[in-house]
Chains A and B, each alone.
Chain A
Amino acid sequence: MTSTFHSIETAKRSLFAQQTSINTVGHNISNANTEGYSRQRVTMTAARPMEAFGINRSTSAGQLGTGVEATAINRVRTSFLDDQFRNQSKYLGAWSVQSDTLNKLESIVNEPSDSGIRTVMDKFYQAWSDLSKDPENVTGRKIVRETALALTDSFNQTSKQMQDLSADLTSSIDVKATEANTYINTISSLNTQIRRIESLGDDANDLRDQRDLLTDKLSQIVNINVTQAPEGYNISMGGTNLVAGDTVTPLTPAALEAAFQTGDLNSGEVFGMITSRDVYVADYVKQLDTLANTLATGNIQVTVPAGSVLPGTTTPLATATTMTVQGINGLHKLGYTMGNPATGADDFFTFKAGATGFTAASMQLNANITSDTNNIATSMRTTTTGGTSTVVVGNNSLALLMSGLNEVKFTFDQSATGNGISEATINNFYSSMVGALGVQSQEALRQYQNSTAQTEQVDSNRQAVSGVSLDEEMSDLVKYQHAYGAAARFMTTFDQLLEKLINGTGVVGR
């Protein structure tokens, strides 16, 4: 037996349910541009009908409906796409950093240009060639000195810039660790909040959105694996647990480096940073060091012309003699300074105090030469009269040999080259280094663009599922508005029925 006021209750439920839907539409519209928001849907279910199964069943026919109920508000979201997104965004993170670093290395190397190391080296050899024409000339010597200083400056500065880049990457790792830790901490506290709310039976939609968003962001920094457990998201990086319910293992730069070594950290921005620093930048620093070291001391073969007097001897060579010397330094030491009596020349390049060998950073022009250009050797010939050796200043053999060094193959230390070249001209070594940088940079850029496209693709798919469509929300709004209106009208109709019943019937006796 239904109550007199049964339909008022039905109408009221309908009004409430439609209102809930309208509120949700409003919530969706408000969050149309919220990052990480997924649209929400109200699940409406017909309320439990009268005359449920039981002993006290009345004799009236049928199950009378009791209207509608909003039973749940859910997010529309596919967790499979979340997994896909996080899988892609770790590559995006790694390649964007690597591509960025290689790009920076390219601008440090600064080729092709009129100011890179190659130009400076050309100028150095040209200065020697000019000096060979006027070996007695002070101006020519000064130009050789200046170009040599420019050469060492270029090496020093390029090395410095690479070291700076390396240091920048180290501090970026610190910053990223901090950023990751805030995400990890928030995710874990969201785990707690979500569990608390959902224990009451509701869905913590907006908190879940936040947690997913933070997880997305974390996935770009380090490679993570997310599993859904009763206590919330469990997040691990390789074998390292980061979040387990409400417990957190914070990331430290040291822990990240260790994870890089063990392979737990294998993609993401931090991986990109460590790779950039320890692989790319370190490799180019090493190659540059090798270049500087080889230029100064690498084995080369030179042919000393007949008539030259080797230092320590007084007899001119009868025939041209081919010999192996140690780089520019070794060659320079075959000659004589302009001083009288004839004095054997010193090293051309030296390394800075405190350094243990020639590196791009430590290389410098011998201070003797910086202060007195007469210590630049051009002559390989002396004459001896009365036991005193005098330099033949017009002899330009050494200057000629120096200016020809750009075509001479140097022996590179195979273990240190890093680009597999054991014997090459300085220019060849350098251009193969620049070429390799170009290839790596191009590859990194391509990978970056690829992973961007793929991440965007997955993100599009996610948006297609979870994004708020204003058109859709508007039509829903119209739909719910009409339903609300109709429910209100139903209430009015029933009100009129009761009006008739109460005020219009049973007028007998009035």
Chain B
Amino acid sequence: MSLRVTPGMMHMQLSRNLNRNLAQMDSLQNQLTTGRKINKPSDDPVGITYSLRYRTELASNEQFQKNADAAHSWLDFNDTVLGQAGDVMKRIKELTVNGSNGTNPQDALDSINSELTQLKSQLIDIANSKLNGKYVFNGQQFDKLPYDVNAPGFDAKQVVTDAGDVSYAVGVGVTLPVNISGNEVFGTGNPVEADNVFSVLDNIISNFAVGNQAGAAAQLGNLASRDAKITNARSEVGAKVNRIELMQNRLDDLGINLTDMQSKTEDADYDKLLIDSKINENIYQASLSVGAKVISPSLVDFLH
């Protein structure tokens, strides 16, 4: 169809083209200023479902990282405290061995006893350790003092600590118990375990008090088995620290991967955008100047 071309058509076409060009520029500039190529669902409907998923996964990943950090500091604290308990145990063993070598007069045994009493208090202090306001050896009852010396009829060896796990979520469906109960470390309370550290200490002290060195020496076996249990608990904490560190590494890697994938889905390609936008600008200016030339003249301008 051979078209008659009228100025009206040319105006329409020109303004349509200019408009299209402007719309294109608007979209490019929107991407440039937000730095994202998906600014609304219709920009990339498939991309946005991924984008939403990555964002959610990143959010929970960050949360897991925070939780893992907290778990790590709890485990570190356990390690320190168990180290202290180990030191105390070593000293108790030394004193017991010294006291039971047969040559000690009663007053030496009495002074050993007074140090042992102090060490017992020290162990109770350790058993009452607190991190962020929580008694770390009292399981889920961490708001309650486990070895309350002021309680009526208090007897350290009778204390039953809570056995509940304090668990931290460190991954999807992964929870990690970070606590050790006091009874696990110091011996169960009810019935009193043979190597319950407080019961052992009480036995040693009462034997030394009456000069029964052999009786005190008989406790050395229990002392050794308790010491081994404390060391075991400490190495278990160490193993958990390793696990949490592995977890942290994995979470870090996952975070990087997710950020990377999110960026690939959402982020604008600046190089391309800048070039596109420059090209678009040029086209726009060209169409403006061509438009200005094309539109004005008609026969009216030339006829006299």
The interface of chain A, by Cβ under 8 A from chain B, is 32-33, 102-103, 106-107, 109, 111-112, 118-119, 121-123, 125-126, 129-130, 132-134, 136, 307, 381, 392-396, 400, 403-404, 406-407, 427, 430-432, 434-439, 441-442, 445, 456, 459-461, 463-465, 467-472, 474-475, 478
Contacts and interface: CB of A to CB of B under 8 A. Distances in A.
A57 B143 CA distance: 134
Given A111-B41, A463-B12, A394 B139 contact: yes
Question: Dominant SS at the A interface?
Answer: helix
Contacts of A121: 56
B298 interface: yes
A434 B49 contact: yes
Given A126-B60, A474-B303, A112 B9 contact: no
23 contacts: A122-B59, A126-B62, A126-B63, A129-B67, A132-B67, A132-B167, A133-B70, A134-B132, A381-B140, A394-B134, A394-B143, A395-B164, A435-B46, A438-B41, A438-B43, A441-B45, A456-B16, A460-B9, A460-B13, A463-B8, A469-B7, A470-B299, A471-B299
B interface, how many residues as a size bin?
Answer: 35 or more
Contacts of A112: 36, 38-39, 48, 51-52, 55, 266
Nearest to A441: B42
Contact of B55 (A118, A407, A445): A118
A40 B40 CA distance: 49
A469 B168 CA distance: 80
B140 A394 contact: yes
Interface string B161-178: 010101111001101000
A474 B304 CA distance: 11
Interface string B1-45: 101111111001100100000000000000000001011111111
Nearest to A443: B42
Given A407-B60, A407-B172, A436-B45, 12 more contacts: A119-B55, A119-B59, A125-B60, A393-B143, A394-B140, A394-B162, A407-B173, A435-B41, A456-B12, A464-B4, A470-B298, A474-B299
A122 to B, nearest CB: 4
B48 A434 contact: yes
Nearest to A408: B173
Contacts of B250: none
B184 to A, nearest CB: 16
B243 interface: no
A472 B299 CA distance: 8
Interface in B137-189: 138-143, 162, 164, 166-169, 172-173, 175
Given A394-B164, A442-B42, A464-B4, A404 B169 contact: yes
Contacts of B138: 394
